[in-house]
Amino acid sequence: MSDELIFETADGVAILRINRPEVRNAIDGATARAIAAAIDELDERDDLSVGVITGAGGTFCSGMDLRGFLAGDRPSIEGRGFAGLVQAPPRKPLIAAVEGYALAGGCEIALACDIIVASEKATFGLPEPKRGLVPTGGGALKLHKRLPYHVAMELLLTGKMFPAERAHHFGFVNHLVPEGTALEAALALAREIAANAPLALEAIKQVVLQSQDWSQAESHTLQTTLTAHVFRSADAREGSRAFAEKRPPVWTRS
């Protein structure tokens, strides 16, 4: 990894901490490449089941580094999008732990996650039209699916910020926690998820993501193609055996 991103692991969980507090964790090209490498490591390592992404210094991410943008530095990776993440999130579950600002691309990073834990003082927003830009990192594509249409359109077209409390009211934020505790709460949730069977976790995420493009007629058949290996796995037998024996399961990803 690089200085722009701190990568840590514990208890089956990977922590990706954007480490540019002097620019409110704005994403430049080097940071995007570091995040992409961390996502690859999360997916490749059998000892990791869940990722948590957060920011250093009390801010999640303020979006694209505009000074870098003006100098020709693009914080996107072909095929993976902004921050090396928004177009190609990990196969494994990813949780956003949000303190402070999650603006523009920072909001889109949160949108790319499966679960959002936010401080009561956190603020979200997509101010791109105020800068002559469009939120193409997932904001215009996803926000109206996570919020009521008219609420999403007001936020997209005005570019104004919305507080975490309002985001939580609409279900955009899963858990609203006291300031300074978002990472702690996200890690507790991540450990709860990581206690489950890793093959099942990945399959569930893929069914949810891919089924958005399935017709009703083909949905069950396509679901089977993504889940059949889970039912044939040693972990499926271990889960049933552990339940019968009243003990915690020991997963082997096999």
d(CA 21, CA 114): 24
Do the beta carbons of residue 64 and residue 75 sit within 8 Å? yes
How confident is the model at residue 74, as a pLDDT? 86
Known catalytic membership, residue 238: no
The residues with which 50 forms a beta bridge, in sequence order, are 13
The CATH class of the 198-244 domain is mainly alpha
Query: Is 128 among the catalytic positions?
Result: yes
Per-residue pLDDT of 142-171, as tens digits, reads: 999 999 999 999 999 999 999 999 999 999
Local confidence band at 1 (pLDDT 50, 70, 90 cut-offs): low
The whole-angstrom separation of Cα 135 and Cα 124 is 13
For position 85, what pLDDT does the model report? 97
Question: What average pLDDT does this structure show over 36-49?
Answer: 97
pLDDT band at 27 (very low <50, low <70, confident <90, very high): very high
Mean pLDDT of the chain: 96
pTM of the model: 0.95
Q: Which of 128, 154, 218, 245 is catalytic?
A: 128
177 pLDDT above the threshold of 70: yes
In this prediction, residue 234 carries a pLDDT of 96
Start-end of H helices in 77-179: 105-112, 139-146, 149-158, 164-169
Domain ranges of the chain: 5-194, 198-244
Q: What is the pLDDT of residue 71?
A: 81
Q: Residue 222 — pLDDT band, cuts 50, 70, 90?
A: very high
Q: What percent of the chain has pLDDT over 70?
A: 100
**What is the mean predicted confidence (pLDDT) over 132-141?**
95
- Marked catalytic residue, from 4, 99, 108, 202: 108
Is residue 69 very low, low, confident or very high in pLDDT (cuts 50, 70, 90)?
Answer: confident
Residue 72's pLDDT is: 80
What is 5-194's CATH superfamily? 2-enoyl-CoA Hydratase; Chain A, domain 1 (3.90.226.10)
Kindly indicate the confidence band of residue 214, based on its pLDDT and cuts at 50, 70 and 90.
very high
d(CA 56, CA 43): 23
pLDDT score recorded for residue 19 = 98
Predicted confidence (pLDDT) at residue 183 exceeds the cutoff of 90:
yes
